Amino acid sequence: MITTSQLKNLGLSENESKVYLAMLELGPATVLEISAKAQMNRPTVYVQIESLKQKGLVSTQTKGKKQIFIAESPDQLSSLLDRESSEINYKKEELSKLLPDLNSLYNSSGTRPQVRFFEGREGLLRMQETFLASGEKMVYAITPLDEVLKVFPSHRSDYSQRRIKQGIRSKLIYSSDQGPILKESDEAMLRESKFIAPSDMPFTGDLTVYGSSVAITALRGNISGVIIEHPEIANSFKNFFEFLWKFTSNSENK
């Protein structure tokens, strides 16, 4: 048995589907008969009949003083879909003509940040790929190193080596329960680093700035991250990093 949900999949509304099915079963009928069959009030039925007429699915006849409504052949549903498909194709063509100008307007403001969200460990891996594919050659990061290595045990042999291979330099402020385990300056790793004790920097996520983007991650609980692309926001975070770098002592570093 055909259901209203099946007709809804073809583009009819719930009420249109009920009225059309009722009319198919009744044959030529008055609005009163259709209303009873569809279990809907007459004003609502009138509205649905008018909508179905516009779709080519209902016609009318007059018998004496009565107006009779007739459901058109279900074959008209195929014609309806063909018309809708043609309209969609036309709109797509029009959109393709307008997109360059629309994108130009969108980009002209220069102040609208683009924000992308990433979920889970796989999401953070995609964030890394986004950074490595950015073409930037300098990255600034504030990192709880132990938390990173819990989520990515092969971080040093995988991500860091790929960063080095692409000639991307790193300026890093980090914490670790193991103490200052990184060299202050490590040319082989294309990295400068400064250590802050975990008690002074109790972060459970890291912050990375590259180019006009800021990447922020949560490395505990619901592991996730966000990348914000906006020159002024990125510049503010870079200035914050440089401020912190300036006032972080090197004395504890190896």
Instruction: Please tell me the pTM assigned to this model.
Output: 0.56
CA distance 21 to 34: 10
- Write out the chain's pLDDT in tens, 254 residues: 788 888 888 889 999 999 999 999 999 999 999 999 999 999 999 999 999 999 999 999 988 888 999 999 888 888 888 888 898 999 999 999 998 888 887 676 656 778 999 999 999 999 999 999 999 999 999 999 999 999 999 988 889 999 999 999 999 999 999 999 999 999 999 999 999 999 999 999 999 999 999 999 999 999 999 999 999 999 999 999 999 999 887 544 43
CA distance 111 to 113: 6
- CATH architecture for the domain at 114-246: 2-Layer Sandwich (3.30)
**pLDDT, position 113:** 79
The answer to whether domain 4-73 has CATH 1.10.530.10 is no
Q: Where are the domains of the chain?
A: 4-73, 114-246
* Residue 26 token pair: 């009744």
* Residue 34 token pair: 């259709």
